[in-house]
Amino acid sequence: MPDRTPYIAANWKMHKTVAEAAEFVDALLPRIAATQADVVICPSFLALHEVVERRRGTAVRVAAQNMHAEQSGAFTGEVSAPMLVELDVEAVVLGHSERRQLFAETDEALALKVPAALAADLEPILCVGETEQARDGGETETVLERQLQADLANVEPGDLEKVVVAYEPIWAIGTGRTATPEQAQEACAFIRDVLRARGGAADAVRILYGGSVKPANAAELLALPDVDGALVGGASLDAGDFAAIVEAAG
Ligand code: PGA
């Protein structure tokens, strides 16, 4: 089985001005200088440039939180992959549950966005996850499989290993209620099985867990065999807490 480099991403959502982003990066860099993990920061569009410039010469990578599938056009308020690449942004979060639930992001749109990101050499961080109702109804695997099959429909099996998948149970996001290690492992292993069945090099794909990850629970989650990293929301806003999570990844 190939070694999978741990992957820790900070999803700032709609937090941090440019000045606050700069302050965070300056505080974070010395704290994570020794890490072997892939560290990715996902600021607002407006702070992307500042974070890209401040992390130059370091291993920290930068991701946007969304993009449009088209390269340009009459899409007021949207940003395209070439615009992100021009800034030296390297990755993009796609299909976060907040975008799906609050901004009506559809699987049909994601089926276009994921290959558009890959075509532009942006690493897609594709988020999937079930609602509490789906989990209680025993439908977790059905939901995950449906999202993965739809969102990856236009990705060639040979390109699957370039996608990072984040398992984010919606009931665990921002609630302080983390999935148990058993729940996280089971879902991430299931995701890997679905990728394998699609003919991809599933053992090479990084699968992250997201949902109330914090310094106190990171080590336990990151030690799970099919959890290769974390997508961190609330706890990524503090440089000390985020550095502690990166440290837990090795
Ligand atoms: P949280 O958010 O860590 O605040 O639960 C995770 C996410 O939404 O990516």
Q: For 113-175, what is the HEC assignment?
A: HHHHHHHCCCEEEEEECCCHHHHHCCCHHHHHHHHHHHHCCCCCHHHHHHCEEEECCHHHCCC
**Ligand 1 pocket mutation pick from 7, 8, 11, 12 by most atoms within 8 angstroms of CB:** 11
pLDDT for the residue 2: 63
Q: What mean pLDDT value characterizes the chain?
A: 97
- Taking CA atoms only, the protein residue closest to ligand 1 atom 6 is 233
Q: Is 15 annotated in the active site?
A: no
**Ligand 1 pocket mutation pick from 92, 213, 214 by most atoms within 8 angstroms of CB:** 213
pLDDT for the residue 3: 85
Please answer whether residues 116 and 72 qualify as being in contact, where contact means their C-beta atoms are separated by less than 8 angstroms.
Answer: no
> What pTM was estimated for this model as a whole?
0.97
- Taking CA atoms only, the protein residue closest to ligand 1 atom 7 is 233
Q: Which atom of ligand 1 is nearest to the CA of 175?
A: 5
Q: Which is the catalytic residue, given 50, 68, 96, 105?
A: 96
Closest listed residue to residue 22, CA positions, set 54, 49, 44: 54
Is the pLDDT at 1 greater than 60, yes or no?
no
Distance 12 CA to ligand 1 centre (A): 9
pLDDT for the residue 89: 98
Q: Point out which residues pair with 82 in neighbouring strands.
A: none
Is the pLDDT at 72 greater than 80, yes or no?
yes
Q: Is 86 annotated in the active site?
A: no
Alpha carbons 244 and 250: distance in angstroms, whole number? 10
> Is 129 a pocket residue for ligand 1 (Cβ < 6 Å)?
no
> Is 173 a pocket residue for ligand 1 (Cβ < 6 Å)?
yes
